[in-house]
Chain A
Amino acid sequence: MIEKALKGGRGYWAWVAFLLVVIGIGVTAYARQMTIGLGVTGMGRDISWGVYIAQFTFLVGVAASAVMLVLPYYLHNQKAFSKIVIVGEFLAVSAALMCMLFILADMGRPDRVLNVLLYPSPHSMVFWDVMVLNGYLFLNLISGWAVLGAERKGVAPAPWVKALIYLSIPWAFSIHTVTAFLFAGLPGRHLWLTAVLAPRFLASAFAAGTAILILITFILKKVAKFDAGPEARLKLSVLASYAGLANLFFLGTEFFTAFYSNIPAHMHSLQYLFFGLEGHAPLVPWMWFSLITGIISVGVLLSPPLRRKNGALIAACIGLVVSIWIDKGMGLVFGGFVPTPLEAIVDYMPTATEISVTLGIWAIGLLVLTMLLKTAIAVKTQE
Chain B
Amino acid sequence: MSQNRREFLKKAGLGALAGLGAAAGLFPAFALEQTDMSNFTDKPVPGKVRWGMLIDTRKCLGNCTECIVRCHHDHNVPDFGKSKNEVKWIWKSGYENAFPTASTQFQNPEVLERQVLTLCNHCAEPPCTKACPTEATFKRWDGIVSIDYHRCIGCRFCMAACPYGSRSFNWLDPRPNIKELSTAYPTRMRGVVEKCNFCSERLVKNELPACVESCPEKALIFGDLNKPDSEIRKLLAANETMQRKPELGTLPSVFYII
Contact = CB atoms under 8 A, between A and B. Distances in A.
Interface residues of A, number: 47
Interface string A325-358: 0000000000011001111101000000000000
Contact of A45 (B85, B101, B173): B85
Nearest to B151: A115
Contacts of A42: 84
Interface residues of B, number: 48
Interface in B139-157: 151-157
B231 interface: no
A108 B133 contact: no
A287 B206 CA distance: 55
Contacts of B151: 112, 115, 119
A37 B190 CA distance: 7
In the complex, which of the residues B130, B156, B160 has the most CB atoms of chain A within 10 Å of its own CB atom? B160
Interface in A1-59: 36-39, 42-49
A27 to B, nearest CB: 19
Nearest to B248: A187
B226 interface: no
Contacts of B191: 37-38, 107-109
A188 B245 contact: yes
Contacts of B168: 45
Interface string A99-114: 0000100111110110
B165 A342 contact: yes
A195 B151 CA distance: 32
B163 A124 contact: no
Contacts of A36: 172
A78 interface: no
Contacts of A124: 130-133, 157
B118 interface: yes
A123 interface: yes
Interface of A: 36-39, 42-49, 103, 106-110, 112-113, 115-116, 118-119, 121, 123-127, 130, 182-183, 185-189, 265, 336-337, 340-344, 346
13 contacts: A38-B169, A39-B85, A39-B172, A45-B169, A48-B159, A48-B160, A106-B155, A108-B156, A109-B153, A110-B154, A123-B130, A124-B132, A346-B84
Given A44-B171, A115-B151, 9 more contacts: A38-B154, A42-B84, A48-B159, A108-B156, A108-B190, A121-B132, A183-B160, A336-B160, A342-B164
